[in-house]
Chains A and B, each alone.
Chain A
Amino acid sequence: MRIASLIRWIVFALAAFILNFPVIATLITSFKSNAEISRNPGLCIREPTLANYATVFDPAGRFDVWQFLGNSLTAALIGTILPIALCFPAAWAMARRGVGMNVLFPAAVNLRALPLIVFAIPLYLMYQTLGLLDTKLGLGLILAVVNIPIALLILTNTVRELPYELEEAARMDGASMATLLFRIVLPMCRPAIVTVFIFGFITAWNEFLFGLMLTTRDAVPITVGASFFFASGGGGVQWGVAAAIIMVSAAPPVLLGLVMYRHIGGSMTGGAVKG
Chain B
Amino acid sequence: MTFRKKMLTATALSALMATAAQAEVTVLGWPGGPEEEALRAVTEIYNAKDDVAEENKVELLFFSRDGFFDKLQADLAAGSDAFDVNLLATYSIGRYAPYMEPITLSGEAEGVFGDTVLSTMQFEGAQYGVPTDLSMHFLFFRSDLMEELMGDEDAKATYAAISEEYLGTAMEPVAPDEMTWEDFAATALYFSRSVNPDSPTRYGTVLQMKNLLFNMMVFQSLPRAYGADWMDADGNITVDSEAYRTGLEMYKMLYDAGATPTDSLSYEFPEANAAFTSGQVAMMVQWNGASGALTGAESAPMTADVTDSVAPPTGPEGRFTHIHGLGLGLNKNAQNPDGAKAFLEWLSTEEAAVAYATAGGAPGLTGTAIEAVAEARPDLVPLGEFASNYGYVMNGATGANALSIYELQAQEFTGYWGDTQSLDEALSAAEAGMADLLK
Report A's interface with B, CB cutoff 8 A: 34-35, 38-39, 41, 62-63, 120-121, 124-125, 128-137, 212-213, 216-218, 220, 224, 227-239
Kindly provide the distance from the CB of B279 to the nearest chain A CB, expressed in whole angstroms: 7
CA distance A238 to B32 in the complex (A): 10
In the bound complex, residues from chain B placing their C-beta under 8 Å from that of A133 are: 80, 82
**In this complex, which of A39, A133, A217, A229 has the most chain B Cβ atoms within 10 angstroms of its Cβ?**
A217
CA distance A238 to B14 in the complex (A): 39
A-B contacts, 15 listed (Cβ < 8 Å): A34-B298, A34-B299, A35-B298, A120-B74, A130-B10, A133-B80, A135-B17, A216-B80, A227-B64, A228-B62, A232-B270, A233-B65, A234-B33, A234-B65, A236-B293
Report B's interface with A, CB cutoff 8 A: 6, 9-10, 13-14, 16-18, 20-21, 28, 30-37, 61-67, 71, 74-75, 78-80, 82-83, 214, 268-270, 273-274, 277-279, 287, 289-290, 292-294, 298-302
For the A-B complex with A231-B66, A235-B32 known, give 8 more contacts whose Cβ atoms are closer than 8 Å.
A125-B78, A216-B75, A227-B66, A229-B32, A230-B270, A234-B31, A234-B289, A236-B273
CA distance A38 to B64 in the complex (A): 25
A-B contact count (CB 8 A): 139
In the bound complex, residues from chain B placing their C-beta under 8 Å from that of A120 are: 74
A232 and B66 form a contact (CB under 8 A): yes
A212 with B67: in contact, given A121-B78, A128-B79 (CB under 8 Å)?
A: yes
CA distance A238 to B75 in the complex (A): 29
Q: CB < 8 Å: which of A39, A220, A234 contacts B63?
A: A220
B17 and A137 form a contact (CB under 8 A): yes
A228 with B32: in contact, given A235-B293, A239-B270 (CB under 8 Å)?
A: yes
Kindly provide the distance from the CB of B336 to the nearest chain A CB, expressed in whole angstroms: 16
A212 with B64: in contact, given A39-B301, A131-B10, A234-B289 (CB under 8 Å)?
A: yes
CA distance A137 to B293 in the complex (A): 39
In the bound complex, residues from chain A placing their C-beta under 8 Å from that of B301 are: 34-35, 38-39
In the bound complex, residues from chain A placing their C-beta under 8 Å from that of B66 are: 212, 227, 230-232
Which 7 pairs from chain A and chain B are nearest by CB? A234-B33, A231-B32, A236-B293, A235-B33, A237-B270, A35-B301, A231-B65
Kindly provide the distance from the CB of B67 to the nearest chain A CB, expressed in whole angstroms: 6
In the bound complex, residues from chain A placing their C-beta under 8 Å from that of B287 are: 233-234
B13 and A132 form a contact (CB under 8 A): yes
CA distance A218 to B61 in the complex (A): 10
A232 with B65: in contact, given A128-B79, A133-B82 (CB under 8 Å)?
A: yes
In the bound complex, residues from chain B placing their C-beta under 8 Å from that of A135 are: 17-18
Q: CB < 8 Å: which of A125, A132, A224, A239 contacts B64?
A: A224
B35 and A218 form a contact (CB under 8 A): no
**In this complex, which of B10, B37, B301 has the most chain A Cβ atoms within 10 angstroms of its Cβ?**
B301
Kindly provide the distance from the CB of A41 to the nearest chain B CB, expressed in whole angstroms: 8
In the bound complex, residues from chain B placing their C-beta under 8 Å from that of A121 are: 74, 78
A218 and B20 form a contact (CB under 8 A): yes
Q: CB < 8 Å: which of B6, B16, B63, B79 contacts A228?
A: B63
CA distance A131 to B11 in the complex (A): 9
Q: CB < 8 Å: which of B10, B32, B35, B302 contacts A38?
A: B302
A131 with B273: in contact, given A39-B302, A218-B21, A236-B293 (CB under 8 Å)?
A: no
